Amino acid sequence: MKYNITLVPGDGIGPEIVDAACQVMDKVGEQSGHSFHYTSVLAGGCALDKYGIPLPEDSLKACLDSDSVLLGAVGGPKWETLPGHLRPERALLNIRKEMGLFANLRPAKLMSVLREASPLREDTAKKGFDLLIVRELTGGMYFGKSGRYQSEGGETAFDTEAYSVHEITRIAKVAFETARTRRSQVTSIDKANVLESSRLWRETVHKVAEDYPDVTLKDMLVDNAAMQLVQNPAQFDVIVTSNIFGDILSDEASQLTGSIGLLPSASLGETKRGMYEPIHGSAPDISGQDLANPIATVLSAAMMLRLSFGLSEEADRIENAVDKVLQQGLRTRDIAWGGPYIKGSEMTKALLSAL
């Protein structure tokens, strides 16, 4: 089969890590008789520099016309002072919204070889954890009404958290369906003791749960969840939560694995087509120095093969190659913790030979 993939390398380390993932996909493709055709487009800060807007129409069109999208990272200090609608992050938010990618899957798993890199207490790390955050991605305060006005206190700004039953139902279904393929436990995270939107969230998730009697559902308040993640992450299987809470908790969960440089993500909608990206950012401080860890993006490509193209064997091969190089003791700087490390491109080479 031939698959059309739109690449959005973006800014900072984005181009380096997307290139690494393409090399890995090509090798797997060669081995299995599949071919991947890439169209690379500009979005984020690089598009702002060239066209004055974060997401040119042609770039969005290429994403919509593809079988799936692989994104590196967008943003950087250079564009930080621009107004909201012109920030590189807008590109990412608009692609998610326009492609209808309402479900963001962020797995976080503690690999036994990286246990010592985890900031968890030794006994907690020993127990390990393997959780999946299902983050709502096209609603909530990321897309709610926002603005500024003058009040007695001077200039005032607001963002609105709003969720409909439709939005909550569809993300809850993704969580329950996915839980069935794992350990059949869902923790729904909200702030129902304070927020009305969270109370509707909780009611709706419980309604959806009636169709999944085989899956255990637990509610947890977000502040408690932030604490529980550090205290006892092994208790979680699938976490389902809003856009903003998912954003925050997924960074926390990723750090518990030892490095944000290892974690992939998938964003999906009603169709098979998705967008895949590492959960880390553009890391401008290390860009162009061949220090970036390509693993999160390589694993994102593996998720694409599995979830959008149904190529599970090929995805397994990539994931096994990652395990193998880490078992061999190869480390990029972000997971070396002061010990010896190799360059990003050397990590890519090691992955290619492990395939």
Q: Work out whether 11 is an interface residue with ligand IPM (CB under 6 A).
A: no
Q: Work out whether 323 is an interface residue with ligand IPM (CB under 6 A).
A: no
Q: Work out whether 92 is an interface residue with ligand IPM (CB under 6 A).
A: yes
- Report the alpha-carbon distance of residue 168 to residue 270 in Å, rounded: 14
Record the tokens describing residue 225, joined without a space. 């969840």
Binding partner of residue 92 among Mg ion, ligand IPM, none, CB under 5 to 8 Å per kind?
Answer: ligand IPM
- Report the alpha-carbon distance of residue 135 to residue 157 in Å, rounded: 25
Piece of the chain touching ligand IPM by CB under 6 A; list 58-66, 89-97, 109-117, 313-321: 89-97
Q: Which of 251, 290, 343, 349 is catalytic?
A: 251
In 3D, which of 74, 110, 99 has the Cα closest to residue 89? 74
125/222 with CB nearer ligand IPM: 222
Q: Work out whether 247 is an interface residue with ligand IPM (CB under 6 A).
A: yes
Query: Residue number with the shortest CB distance to Mg ion?
Result: 247
**Tokens 């998730």 found at:** 205
285 part of the active site: no
Binding partner of residue 117 among ligand IPM, Mg ion, none, CB under 5 to 8 Å per kind?
Answer: none
Piece of the chain touching ligand IPM by CB under 6 A; list 87-95, 179-187, 253-261, 293-301: 87-95
Residue choice 167, 247, 277, 314 for contact with Mg ion (CB under 5 A): 247
191 part of the active site: yes
* 68-73 and 274-278 beta bridge pairing: parallel
Q: Which of 11, 67, 237, 247 is catalytic?
A: 247
Rounded (10°) angle between helices 295-307 and 344-354: 40
In 3D, which of 25, 43, 23 has the Cα closest to residue 34? 25
- Report the alpha-carbon distance of residue 240 to residue 201 in Å, rounded: 10
Record the tokens describing residue 244, joined without a space. 């903003």
In the complex, the residues that contact Mg ion under the rule CB under 5 A are 247
